[in-house]
Copies of this chain bind each other. A is one copy, B any other.
Amino acid sequence: MVAVVNNVNTTDQAAAARALGKRLGYVFADDTLLRRALTHRSAAADNNERLEFLGDSVLNFTITAALYRRCPDAAEGDLSRLRASLVRERTLAEIAQTLDLGAALILGPGEQRNGSCRRASILADTVEALLGAIYCESGFEATRRVVLGLFAERLAHLPDPDAVKDAKSRLQEWLQARGRALPQYTLVSRSGAEHARHFVSACRLPDGDEVCRGEGSGRRKAEQDAAQHMLTQLTEATA
């Protein structure tokens, strides 16, 4: 793969990167590292995939440790759900928007035309890559400070753990409380090019006739959607 320079003026990009540093509360000493963290795999072989892998893990751990301290009475399952609500793609994409990360992204020409700078998955991945880069440059404590800064509002106003149960968990609990068998999920179809994958999954209750379909940009999302439809159908039927 050959490095492709973004069609955005590189002076603008450098300015965007500096502004990003300010909003992030962390100024990179190593411009090459920052550039790598902002580079999507569509733009260059020297991209942010490895940094994203590292950043995902340091983010997960920092949030885990913060929740452990802040919620001394929460059971493991509640901590797990709270964490999932904080580190999910949607939350990270929101944080990316407050950082105006879209303007600093380095994308290949195809992704630029697709408007990928607004795509939640790319924005979320880049937040993780930036955290991985901060860890590389300055270690755990510096990264922790940045994470706690970015999540300060959300950690100060944690939702009720019950409210953030996903649809598959709620469906499972609903069925178990009624002595029914666990739902089965199957992938019905997978289509679309890489930037616009579309999955359809089915949720079936093996001890009944109910089948619901769900869709989404990933298999898990399609399953969650199917579970939500099933829950609605079951609770409306028994209401």
Contacts and interface: CB of A to CB of B under 8 A. Distances in A.
A53 interface: yes
A132 B53 CA distance: 22
Pick the most buried of A76, A135, A182: most chain B CB atoms within 10 A of its CB.
Answer: A76
Contact of A75 (B50, B79, B182): B50
A61 interface: yes
A190 to B, nearest CB: 6
A1 to B, nearest CB: 12
A4 interface: no
A32 to B, nearest CB: 14
A111 interface: no
A200 interface: no
A187 B175 CA distance: 16
B68 A54 contact: yes
B76 A52 contact: yes
A5 to B, nearest CB: 23
Contact of A187 (B58, B65, B184): B184
Contacts of A190: 182
Interface string A46-84: 000110111001101100110010000011100110000
A140 B80 CA distance: 20
Given A184-B186, A186-B184, A187-B182, A57 B61 contact: yes
Interface in A147-200: 182, 184-187, 190
A54 B49 CA distance: 25
Contacts of A61: 57-58, 60-61
Contacts of A49: 75-76
A210 B5 CA distance: 47
A89 to B, nearest CB: 17
B68 A80 contact: no
Interface of A: 49-50, 52-54, 57-58, 60-61, 64-65, 68, 74-76, 79-80, 132, 135-136, 140-141, 182, 184-187, 190
16 contacts: A49-B75, A49-B76, A50-B68, A50-B74, A50-B75, A50-B76, A50-B79, A54-B64, A58-B61, A60-B60, A60-B61, A140-B140, A182-B187, A182-B190, A184-B187, A186-B186
